[in-house]
Chains A and B, each alone.
Chain A
Amino acid sequence: QLQLQESGPGLVKPSETLSLTCTVSGDSITSASWYWGWIRQPPGKGLEWIGDNYNSGSSWYSQYNPSLRSRATTSVDTSKNQFSLKLSSVTAADTAVYYCARRGSSTGWSFDYWGQGILVTVSS
C-alpha cells in the first residue's frame, strides 16, 4: 500500500524559506509514469496546485504554478525515496496545509494518493 508522509518545520518566519519533504513508502519514486506533486490549502480555503516532479527516462523534470512567481523549487532524492519542496520569501499568505501526492497515467492522471498534510504557519 502506497503511503506518503510530509515532514518539516511547522513554523517559518516571514521572508525565510519553507522546506518540506515527502517520504514515499510502498513504491519506488523512480517507477515510470508517476508524477509527484505538492498541493496546499490555506486555512478555511480551497486547494492550490504548487508543482510536480516527474521522471522521463534518466532525467527529472518539474512544472510549477506560475502564481508562485518562481518562488517554488522541487527536488527528488531517489536514494531516500523522497521528494522535496522549497518555497522562498514566504509571507503570511503562504500559511497553509501542504500536501504531497501522486498522480499518473495508469490511474487517470489526477492525484490518487495523498499524504496526511502538514500545517505550516508563517509568523515571526
Chain B
Amino acid sequence: DIQMTQSPSSLSAFVGDRVTITCRASQGIGKNLGWYQQKPGKAPKRLIYTASTLQSGVPSRFSGSGSGTEFTLTISSLQPEDFAAYYCLQYNSFPLTFGGGTKVEI
C-alpha cells in the first residue's frame, strides 16, 4: 500500500495568512493526487485534482503543486470560511489511500 504522510496534523493561523499543507507519498504516484476540504458534519469537497488542477467553482486562493512523492496545498490568503480539515488522496494505485488530515484552526 502507498502511505500518505500529511503534515502538519493541525495548525493555527489568522485570516489573511498564507498556509501550506504537505503530503508525502511512500512511493511515486505521478500527479495522481487530490486535495479535499471537510467541514464538520459535511462530506469532503474536492479542491484540487491531478495535483494542481483547480476544481471548478473553487476560489483561486487555493493551489496545488508537486509530483512524484511530494505535494503541497497552498491557501494564499486564509479566509474565515477556510477553517476546516484538509485531506490528500492518492489514486495512483489500489488501495486508494488518504493522508491523515490537517485541521486548520484560528
Alpha-carbon distance between A66 and B101 when the two chains are bound, in angstroms: 21
**Is B50 an interface residue when CB atoms closer than 8 A count as contact?**
yes
Min distance, Cβ A87 to any Cβ of chain B, angstroms: 15
Alpha-carbon distance between A64 and B44 when the two chains are bound, in angstroms: 20
Alpha-carbon distance between A103 and B55 when the two chains are bound, in angstroms: 13
Beta-carbon contact of B95 and A65 below 8 Å: yes
The one of A46, A67, A101, A114 in contact with B98, judged by C-beta atoms closer than 8 angstroms, is A46
Residues of B with C-beta under 8 A to A117: 43
Counting residue pairs across A and B whose Cβ atoms lie within 8 Å, the total is 60
Beta-carbon contact of A49 and B53 below 8 Å: no
Using A107-B49, A108-B34 as known contacts, say yes or no to A49 and B44 having CB atoms under 8 A apart: no
Alpha-carbon distance between A52 and B91 when the two chains are bound, in angstroms: 12
Alpha-carbon distance between A47 and B37 when the two chains are bound, in angstroms: 12
Min distance, Cβ B5 to any Cβ of chain A, angstroms: 12
Q: Which residues of B contact A (CB under 8 A)?
A: 1, 32-34, 36, 42-46, 49-50, 53, 55, 87, 89, 91, 94-101
Q: Which residues of A contact B (CB under 8 A)?
A: 37, 46-49, 52, 63-67, 99, 101, 103, 107-112, 114-117
